[in-house]
Amino acid sequence: MAPDERSSLVHLRRGLVEFCVLALLRERERYAVELVEVLSRHDLIAGEGTIYPLLSRLRARGLVTSAWQESPSGPPRRYYGLSGDGAHALARFTSDWAALSRSVDEITHEEGGTA
């Protein structure tokens, strides 16, 4: 893959990771390392370095909540949950994503991807 193609993919992933985090938090509260494990498994992030700034931004925007909880195997962990505003943002994104992905699929598959 050419460097500029890779850069486009990185930007696309970066924009989607935020909503993937919200979707993971819809299921249950999680701590950052859990989020990293899931997102890494799906090749959405490379490591822990990107999750903490993202969670801070989401918290500052009121989309996630956080609370410290005791851990059975070490120091306390900060768990993140989906706030009401986060649930609304995720619902809007899910609807927008469905429409966008349908449009892209139509152009790239049904019409042969030719302009």
Amino acid at 76: P
Task: Return the closest-CA partner of residue 33 out of 90, 80, 66.
Answer: 80
For residue 76, what are the contacts with CB-CB under 8 A and spacing of at least 6? 68, 69, 70
CATH number of 3-110: 1.10.10.10
CA pseudo-torsion sign 54, 55, 58, 59: negative
Burial class (CB in 10 A: 0-12, 13-18, 19+), 58: buried
- pTM (2 d.p.): 0.82
List the chain pLDDT tens, one digit each, 115 residues. Answer: 555 666 677 777 778 999 999 999 999 999 999 999 999 999 898 778 889 999 999 999 999 999 999 988 889 999 999 999 999 999 999 999 999 999 989 998 875 545 4
**What is the distance between the alpha carbons of residues 89 and 42, in angstroms, rounded to a whole number?**
22
SS3 115: coil
